[in-house]
C-alpha cells in the first residue's frame, strides 16, 4: 500500500464507497423479505470500521485502508447463509452473491477510472 501515492489512495475512496453502496442496494433488492430484518441487516463497512458480529461472510473484522466490506447479518440476524444456500427443509434464495456478481464489473470499472484519474492528476508529485 505504501507504493501507492497517498493522493491516489484518497481519490479512490469515493469510488469504493459508492460501489459498496450500490452492491448493498442490489443485494437488498434481491433479498427475500418476510419481516425485512435480513434486508435491513445488509451493511457497508467503510475503511477503519468493524463489520457487525456474526455478519456473513467472515464475521466481525476491521476494513482495511482501501477496503469497503458489504455484509449481511448481525447479532440478531444470524441466518443469511441459510437463506442464501438453503437447508434440507427450505430452498435456497440467493441474494448476496448474485448481487455481488451483478455489480462487480461496474464497481471494478469505477475504481479503475478513479485510480487512472488520480494518477493523471498527481503525476510527478
Distance of alpha carbon 97 from alpha carbon 117, whole angstroms: 30
Q: Which triple of cell numbers denotes residue 105?
A: 464489473
Q: Which triple of cell numbers denotes residue 52?
A: 457487525
pLDDT band with cut points at 50, 70 and 90 for residue 88: very high
Please give the pLDDT value at position 122. 83
Q: Kindly report whether the global pTM for this prediction surpasses the value 0.75.
A: yes
* Average predicted confidence (pLDDT) for the chain: 93
pLDDT band with cut points at 50, 70 and 90 for residue 125: low
pLDDT by residue (tens digit) across 14-73? 999 999 999 999 999 999 999 999 999 999 999 999 999 889 888 889 999 999 999 999
CB atoms within 10 A of CB 99: 23
Taking a C-beta distance cutoff of 8 angstroms, is the pair 7, 125 a contact?
A: yes
Distance of alpha carbon 9 from alpha carbon 61, whole angstroms: 21
Closest of 94, 89, 87 to residue 38, by C-alpha: 94
Amino acid at each position: 500500500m505504501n507504493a501507492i501515492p497517498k493522493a491516489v489512495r484518497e481519490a479512490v475512496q469515493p469510488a469504493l464507497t459508492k460501489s459498496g453502496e450500490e452492491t448493498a442496494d442490489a443485494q437488498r433488492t434481491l433479498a427475500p423479505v418476510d419481516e425485512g430484518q435480513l434486508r435491513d441487516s445488509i451493511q457497508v463497512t467503510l475503511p477503519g470500521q468493524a463489520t457487525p458480529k456474526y455478519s456473513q461472510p467472515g464475521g466481525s473484522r476491521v476494513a482495511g485502508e482501501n477496503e469497503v466490506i458489504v455484509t449481511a447479518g448481525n447479532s440478531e440476524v444470524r441466518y443469511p447463509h441459510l437463506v442464501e444456500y438453503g437447508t434440507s427443509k427450505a430452498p435456497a434464495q440467493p441474494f448476496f452473491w448474485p448481487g455481488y456478481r451483478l455489480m462487480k464489473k461496474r464497481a471494478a470499472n469505477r475504481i479503475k477510472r478513479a485510480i487512472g484519474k488520480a494518477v493523471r492528476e498527481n503525476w510527478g508529485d
